[in-house]
Structure 1
Amino acid sequence: MKALQYRTIGSAPEVVEIETPEPGPGQVRLKVTAAGVCHSDDFIMSLPEEHYVYALPQTLGHEGAGTVDKLGDGVAHLELGTSVAVYGPWGCGRCYECSKGSENYCTNAHEFGIRPPGLGSPGSMAEYMIVDSARHLVPLGDLDPVKNVSLTDAGLTPYHAIKGSLDKLHAGSTCVVIGVGGLGHVAVQLLRAMTPATVVALDISEEKLNLATDVGAQYTFPSEPGAVATVRDLTRGEGVNVVFDFVANQATMDLGHAMMRPQGDQVLVGVGAGVLPVGLTTGAMESAIRSPYWGSRPELIEVLDLARTSGINVHTEVYSLDNAPEAYAKLHRNEIMGRAVVVP
């Protein structure tokens, strides 16, 4: 079968022919119908050799959808041909967090060497993929897999981040979304669907700010130091209740920190890193900084239900598997609007 693999540190991913995998006991093989391209993939492919901890070669793709193609021994109550989405942050299935469906916070995954697809385990950028357990499959029903596959991360991750701050997103509140890319433009839609808060979007790209307006942001401003005064003026000097930072580098973290109001949340969702001052006299009083990761299995079901009932959707650019390297090249150049989706 064809697969897109990262094979050499520092090189672009390649389309190669590999053996079609067979499901082992408890596993499920999917015929892949869609796979999402994510900045996390670009991030891991930018790591130097001393910091790279994933498999090589690595079949990419942690956002996946497909039809059930073959069942391993012991798998029951799952019909062949069923259209499903793949829940990506796999866990052990036995610890306390996993028992709640919060496998994104599995306490045994590192010890047991459990890796998400495309981030250690073979991913969805292939004609077929193996899913380690049927519990990691969520029925898509009548949802188009190409239009909705990215909700498994680009929808689930902001949804989980927003749920952690729902109590602060009340009527009269204001929130800021920094970075209106693959996850950020979905976050704007989720915030409008789930809360009465006023949504402000910041980005360095005018094109992405236009997209933010199209999907529901009430205000958009360039992501630059002057945005602090602009947003504070918008909130009558009080600052914002919640900042959702989908970049999370030092510049955006400083920007968000300067906008916070007392008892606000600064939610760092992007894969960047930086340093923020903490303490009673270093920022807004009783404010909190959180770094949520992905989301739970029940939350993925909720996100897909929102896609059915509230029109949550991902702006997509579609590529064939043969053209998938170009999708990653455009992602690296920050030229993707919304999300790129690969259809084998």
Structure 2
Amino acid sequence: MTTMRAVRFEAYKQFPALKDVEKPVPGPGEVLLKVAGAGACHSDVAVYSEFEPGMNPLVDPEYTLGHETSGWVEELGDGVVGLEIGSAQLVYGPTGCGRCPACSRGQDTYCQNAGAMRAAAVGLGRDGGMAEYVAVPARNLVPLGDADPIPASALADAGLTPYHAVKLALPKLGRPGASALVVGLGGLGLMAVQIIKALTGATVIATDMKEEAMAQAEVYGAVTVPGGEGQVERIREVTGGRGVDAAFDFVGVGPTVRTALDTAAMQSRVTIVGIGNGSTTDWSFLSTPYEAELVSTYWGTVEELHEVARLYRDGKIEPLYTTYSMEDALQAYRDLEAGKVAGRAVVVPHGRP
């Protein structure tokens, strides 16, 4: 038996473990990747530290973490053609039934048969990329060409999730003089600033409690407003008092949801992306802007990941990231939990080629 190193989620309410496990063999229709980069995500932390048994059986342990993965094609399973050994690929994480209307349009995140599936995604219920090797469905691979695959790993979630949310809001952001608000400048929020700038001419207003995060958003072209007292008033000042045409909350707790709603203009769109489980009941006909939309989104489609990869290859977006070796992978999660990671923590099992 050939073994490899992997970060394993073994039980709820328990920190993951770095273990030696059997190296996977690709099944029919699958591809074995030599992992280039694997992103550590707050969703992983939520699953192993906050979830309870039965909350979501599709992510029940035990499995290898890592739903943000890139790598080089190492081996092809039966029936797989058209992929070159050694080519760099990005992994689309969600794994639906492949047959329902949602999956047929590449939106496995909204699979209508999710309850009958055994896992939610590569790295969420199914062995993921926080390892030296990972086996994934060939359908889930997005080519990276000559682009660096290590930072690209973060695009699988931290790029795709904000891209999906921004793309759905483009009708609001295409107006002359449009403005967008990005609340929360972690890995997803900083990518959202870049994506909005790449796709639209809208003014981007970014807000966070961390000065260094806001400084980075300014590098990407955003106008920043610090969190705290007077935050909503200052955001509205930037828009001339009208409010923003589209707001994106990448935190999702009560106060950030409230900030997004309180800065919304008439006929705007407020998108809650962060899974902070915040809520609000403060709505009335006269105080809520007319035709303002409040929606939530989750991840994105495989087609959209192809579009994200193109933006990356064209130099329009670039993930902010910090690398860790395979042996330091658990430290990546510790730093993530402690709020010490700027952008994305990316584990690099094999180093740079």
Q: TM-score, normalised by structure 2?
A: 0.93
Of residues 66, 72, 84 in structure 2, which corresponds to 1:79? 84
| 1:23 positional shift | 1.6
Alpha-carbon separation, structure 2, partners of 1:108 and 1:48:
22
1:222 aligns with 2:222: no
Amino acid in the other structure paired with 1:117? V
CA contact 2:160–2:304 (8 Å) conserved in 1: yes
CA contact 2:73–2:85 (8 Å) conserved in 1: yes
Q: Any idea what SS the aligned residue of 1:313 has?
A: coil
CA RMSD of aligned residues (A): 1.5
Task: State the partner residue of 2:291.
Answer: 286
CA contact 1:44–1:52 (8 Å) conserved in 2: no
1:246 aligns with 2:250: yes
| 1:107 positional shift | 1.2
| 1:279 positional shift | 5.0
Task: State the partner residue of 1:299.
Answer: 304
Of residues 40, 43, 47 in structure 1, which corresponds to 2:43? 40
- 1:1-37 CA distance string (max 9 Å, x none): 1001122332322110011111222222111111111
Task: State the partner residue of 1:337.
Answer: 342
CA contact 1:192–1:199 (8 Å) conserved in 2: yes
Task: State the partner residue of 1:161.
Answer: 165
Call closer, same or farther: CA 1:48–1:155 in 2, change over 3 Å: closer
- 1:289-326 CA distance string (max 9 Å, x none): 11111111111111111112243000110000110111
- 1:218-264 CA distance string (max 9 Å, x none): x1111224111111122222111111000010010011111111111
Question: Aligned pair count?
Answer: 342
Answer with 4-13 or 288-297: which moved more: 4-13
Q: Any idea what SS the aligned residue of 1:252 has?
A: helix
Task: State the partner residue of 2:264.
Answer: 260
Alignment of 1:1-344 (within 5 A): 1-50=4-53, 51=55, 53=57, 54-131=59-136, 133-169=137-173, 170-217=175-222, 219-277=223-281, 278-344=283-349
- 1:103-159 CA distance string (max 9 Å, x none): 22221233233420111100100111110x211011111110112111111111111
| 1:341 positional shift | 0.5
Alpha-carbon separation, structure 1, partners of 2:116 and 2:284:
34
Q: Any idea what SS the aligned residue of 2:161 has?
A: helix
Alpha-carbon separation, structure 1, partners of 2:44 and 2:195:
24
Percentage identity across aligned positions? 44
CA contact 2:109–2:298 (8 Å) conserved in 1: yes
CA contact 2:11–2:48 (8 Å) conserved in 1: no
Q: TM-score, normalised by structure 1?
A: 0.95
Alpha-carbon separation, structure 2, partners of 1:20 and 1:292:
35
Q: List runs of 5+ in structure 2 lacking aligned partners.
A: none
Answer with 112-121 or 52-61: which moved more: 52-61
